[in-house]
Amino acid sequence: MNKSSKKKMLLGVATVSAVVGLSFLVSGCAKSKTPTASSSAKVPAGTLTISGSTMLYPLNSVWAVKYHKLHPNVTVSVAGTGSGFGISNAADGNITIGASDAYLTKAFKKRYPNLINVPVALDDAQVIYNIPGIPNNVNLKMTPKLVAEIYMGKIKNWDNPAFKKLNPQYKFPNLHIFVVHRADASGTTFDFTSLLTDTSKAWAKKVGRSLSPDWPTGSGYLGSDAVVAAVKSTAGGIGYVGLGWVLEYHLASAAMLNKAGNYVVGSVKTIAAAANSALKQGGFPADFDKSIVWNVYAKNAYPDSNFEFWMIRKKQPNPSTTKSIKDLINWALGPGQAAKYTVKTGFAPLPKSVLPNVKKLLAQVK
C-alpha cells in the first residue's frame, strides 16, 4: 500500500467516525459497557459506570481507585455529571450506578419506578455567615425558622432582635443581610430547603424542597466554593455549604436548634448521631426516602443532614452485573466507610444501623 492510499484510508476512517459521531448525537446518550462474565474470578470482570452528583464525585473516585486495586479485573469508571443525569440515566440503563444527592421523591418515584436508592454516605447543610464585630470562630445560635425568614426576605437586617435574643453576648451591627444561595442545582440546597420546609409553613407553601428552588431573595453562585467566597468577601453575608467545605475552609457555622431543644454544630459526630437516631427511633422510611431533618430526637443530633445515594436499577441486564454491583456496594458500605475515604472527601460515614435495610433493598436488584 503506498503512502497516498494510506491517507485515503485515514480520510475514510475519519468520515466513518464522523458519521458514527452523528448517529451518536441523534441517539443522544452513550451506551455503557456491561460487564461480561469471567471464568475464574470471584467478582465478574467488567466495567461499572458511576455517574451523577458532582458533590459525590470525589468519594466515588477514591472508592473506584481502591476497588480496582482490590479487584484488578473490575474497572469502575466515574463521572460527575449532576444528580439529575445520574437518576435519569440509571433508570434508562445507560449507566450502572447513578450518584445523587437527593432521594427519590414521590414525583421521581412515579417517573422512575424501576429504581432503588442505596445510601452510601452522609452529608449536611450548614449555615455560614460574615458579620462584622463577631469573631470568625463563633458558632452563633440560630433556629431553622429564623433562617427561613432570612431566606424569604422577611428578616433583612442583622440588628433584628431575633439574633440578639439567641446570642445575647454578642453585638449585632445595623447591616443589611446579604443572602447567598447556590445558582446550580445542588444536593446541599435540597438538604437546606428540606429543613426549612419541615420547620416553616410559609417556606413549605411558598418555596418547598428542591435541588433548584425558586429563591424568593438573595443572589446565586455557581458551586459551594463560590458560596464560601461570596459570604466571606461581603460584610453581612449568609450562606450554606456542606460538611466538606466547613472542614476544608475551617469555617464557623451556626449552631442549629434541633428537636430536642439543643443548639448543635454540624460535624461528623453530630451528623452520624442524627442518622443513627433517625433510623433507631422508628418511622424512618425503610427505603431511605427522606432527609434527616428536624424530626430527630437525639440530644446531639445535627438537624439538617441527609444521605448521599447510589441509584440502582432493579432489573439488571444479566446476573454477573447484578453480582458486581452488589459486591461493590457491600465493599463501599463496609471497608469503604473508613474515614480515609469518607471524611477525607467531606462526608460522614454511615452508621451500621443502615445495613439491615440496605440488605432488604438490594434483594430487589435482580
Partner 1 sequence: MFNLKYKDDFFKFILSVFVLAVVVIFLIAVIVILYYSYPSISRYGISFLWKKEWNPPAEIFGALTFLAGTFFVTFLALIFAIPLSLGTGIFLQEYCPFFLRGIFTIIIEMLAGIPSVVFGVWGVLTVVPWIRESVEPFFSRHFSGVPFLKVEENIGYGILAASIIVAFMILPIIASITKDSLSSVPKLAKDGALAMGATKLDVIKDVSMPYALNGIYGGIILGFGRAIGETIATVLLIGNQAIVPKSLFSVGYTISSMLANTFTFAVISPIYASAEVELALILLLISLMVNIVGRNILNRVIGGRFSRSQFGGG
∠ CA 34-37-42 to the nearest 5 degrees? 115
Contacts of 15 (CB under 8 A, 6+ apart): none
- Reference 137, options 184, 168, 170, 162; nearest CA is 170
Report how far apart, in Å, the C-alpha atoms of 312 and of each of 39, 119, 299 are.
25, 11, 34
Q: Of the two residues 201 and 359, which places its CB atom closer to partner 1 in the complex? A: 201
Backbone angles phi, psi at 286, to 5 degrees: -65, -20
**Smallest distance, partner 1 to C-beta of residue 68, A:** 26
For residue 364, give every residue at least 6 positions away whose Cβ sits within 8 Å of its Cβ, in sequence order, or none.
Answer: 116, 314
Considering the complex, what minimum distance in angstroms separates the CB of residue 130 from partner 1? 12
Taking CA atoms, 1 is separated from 5, 7, 11, 13, 50, in Å, by 7, 10, 15, 16, 44
- CA–CA–CA angle 264, 270, 273 (5° rounding): 125
> Which residues of this protein are in contact with partner 1, per CB under 8 A?
2, 4-5, 8, 11-12, 15, 18-19, 22, 25-26, 81-85, 87-88, 107-108, 111, 176, 178, 183-185, 208-215, 217-222, 226, 230, 233-234
Cell of 254: 451556626
Instruction: Identify which of residues 224 and 321 has a Cβ nearer to partner 1 in the complex.
Output: 224
